[in-house]
């Protein structure tokens, strides 16, 4: 396992260069430039409809950029061959806003799919590892449940268990705390930090939950819906008081004037 403390110098893990996102001729965000360091808890924030989730879809290759590129450890993702993309995606875990669990499979089978796909483990070993991953997110004993039989918060955690099945280097979260009660949301934040420390993973979170942003984020980018580009970058706690843009400060203070 990798550990954050080993490399004292922050090294760039993901680099987003001149990224422009568009649906047909409608440009959603243009000229995004930022880097995400290894071990960061990086927050992608912004108002509703500004393209946060779409940015995440670009980062994991679900959508191709209109212009620009995404680099994983210096390697271009957009221009990679499909086989190479697959290799890169192997080191990536994604959790989805609506869970994204395969409804025809039990939780253990869900977590087992990536293991079966990418490793040479025997079916018996796969189910043991899957059980362990489910235990990590607090779902021990739920191996044989179907996604429809558990609550929304548990589905999110099961989605997380599937995302960490292959001990990814980067973990993406799409609105992890949406629809969770405050306590579950807090527990999920703690779990994310715990995973960052134990897996040594880089965490990228799309969210607009202020409590989570300040509790776990150490770097961030703010996407603006009006100007359709990023207008702030840095530690969210610093941005709350010192962001150049009024909108960013207001956003981070829940609308109160700075």
Partner 1 sequence: MAAGEIALVDSDSATVAIRLSGDWQVRDGMPALAVLEDGMSSRSGVSKVEFDVTELGEWDSVLVTFALQVSDFCASHKLELDRGGLPEGAQRLLGLAETVPEKSDARSAEQKSSFLARVGTAAQNGWGEATGMLAFIGEMTMAVGRLLRGRARFRMVDLGLMLQHSGADALPIITLISLLVGSIFAFVGAVQLEQFGAAIYVADLVGIAMTREMGAMMTAIVMAGRTGAAFAAQLGSMKVNQEIDALETMGISPLDYLVLPRMIALCAMMPLLCLYADFVGILGGAAVGVGMLGIAPSAYAQQTIGAVTYTHLIGGICKASVYGVLVALSGCMRGMQSGSSASAVGDATTAAVVTSIVLVVCASGVFAVLFYALGI
Other beta carbons within 10 angstroms of residue 214's beta carbon come to 14
The interface region with partner 1, picked from 34-42, 57-65, 135-143, 175-183 by CB under 8 A, is 57-65
Using rule CB under 8 A, residue 80 touches partner 1: no
* Selected range binding partner 1 among 16-24, 85-93, 199-207, 248-256, rule: CB under 8 A: 85-93
Rg over alpha carbons for the chain, rounded to the nearest Å, is 18
Cα–Cα distance for residue pair 224/35, rounded to 1 Å: 18
Q: Residue 165 Cβ, how far from partner 1 at the closest point, in Å?
A: 9
250 binds partner 1 (CB under 8 A): no
Interface with partner 1 (CB under 8 A), residue from 114, 131, 153, 200: 114
End-to-end CA distance of the chain: 43
- Residue 115 contacts partner 1 per CB under 8 A: no
**Segment near partner 1 (CB under 8 A), from 14-22, 110-118, 134-142, 222-230?**
110-118
Please tell me whether residue 7 binds partner 1 under the rule CB under 8 A: no
Phi, psi dihedral angles at 244 (to 5 degrees): -65, -40
Per the listing, tokens 């869970």 go with: 99
Q: Dihedral sign for Cα 246, 250, 253, 258, please.
A: positive
Edge-first strand listing for the sheet containing 75-76: 26-37, 12-23, 67-72, 75-76
Member of 61, 68, 179, 234 binding partner 1 (CB under 8 A): 61
Beta carbon nearer to partner 1, 114 or 236: 114
Q: Which is nearer to partner 1, 160 or 213 (CB)?
A: 160
Percent helix, strand, coil in the chain (nearest 5)? Answer: 40, 25, 35
- Applying CB under 8 A, the span of 102-110, 182-190, 200-208, 224-232 interacting with partner 1 comes to 102-110
Residue 97 found at the interface with partner 1 (CB under 8 A): yes
Q: How buried is residue 14: exposed, middle or buried, by Cβ count under 10 Å (0-12/13-18/19+)?
A: buried
Closest CA relative to residue 94, chosen from 162, 21, 14: 162
Looking at beta carbons only, is 57 or 239 nearer to partner 1? 57
Decide: is 98 part of the binding site for partner 1 (CB under 8 A).
yes
Question: For residues 53 and 220, what is the distance between their CA atoms, to the nearest angstrom?
Answer: 14
Count of chain residues binding partner 1 (CB under 8 A): 24
Q: Residue 94: CA atoms inside 13 Å, Cβ hemisphere, count?
A: 17
Q: How far is the CB of 94 from partner 1 (least distance, A)?
A: 5
- As given in the structure block, the two tokens for residue 206 are 């799309």
Q: Which of 240, 101, 217, 211 is nearest to 161 (CA)?
A: 101
Least CB distance to partner 1 at residue 198 (A): 22
Nearer to partner 1, 89 or 243 (CB): 89
Question: Which residues from 142-201 bind partner 1, rule CB under 8 A?
Answer: 162
Query: Where do contacts with partner 1 occur on this chain (CB under 8 A)?
Result: 57, 60-62, 85-86, 89-90, 92, 94, 96-104, 113-114, 117-118, 162
């Amino acid at each position: 396992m990798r550990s954050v403390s080993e490399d004292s110098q922050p090294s760039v893990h993901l680099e987003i260069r001149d990224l422009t996102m568009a649906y047909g001729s409608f440009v959603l965000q243009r000229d995004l430039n930022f880097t995400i360091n290894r071990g960061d808890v990086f927050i992608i924030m912004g108002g509703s409809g500004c393209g946060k989730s779409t940015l995440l879809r670009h980062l994991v290759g679900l959508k191709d950029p209109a212009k620009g590129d995404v680099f994983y450890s210096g390697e271009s993702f957009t221009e990679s061959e499909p086989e190479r993309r697959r290799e890169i995606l192997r080191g990536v875990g994604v959790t989805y806003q609506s869970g994204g669990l395969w409804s025809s499979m039990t939780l253990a089978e869900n977590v087992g799919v990536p293991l079966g796909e990418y490793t040479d483990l025997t079916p018996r070993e796969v189910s043991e590892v899957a059980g362990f991953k489910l235990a990590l997110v607090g779902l021990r004993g739920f191996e044989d449940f179907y996604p429809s039989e558990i609550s929304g918060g548990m589905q999110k955690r099961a989605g997380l268990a599937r995302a960490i099945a292959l001990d990814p280097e980067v973990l993406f979260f799409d609105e992890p705390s949406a629809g969770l009660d405050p306590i579950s949301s807090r527990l999920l934040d703690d779990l994310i930090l715990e995973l960052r420390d134990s897996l040594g993973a880089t965490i990228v979170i799309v969210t607009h939950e202020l409590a989570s942003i300040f509790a776990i984020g150490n770097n961030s980018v703010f996407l603006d819906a009006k100007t359709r580009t990023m207008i702030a970058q840095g530690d969210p706690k610093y941005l709350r008081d010192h962001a150049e843009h009024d909108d960013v400060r207001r956003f981070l203070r829940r609308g109160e004037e700075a």
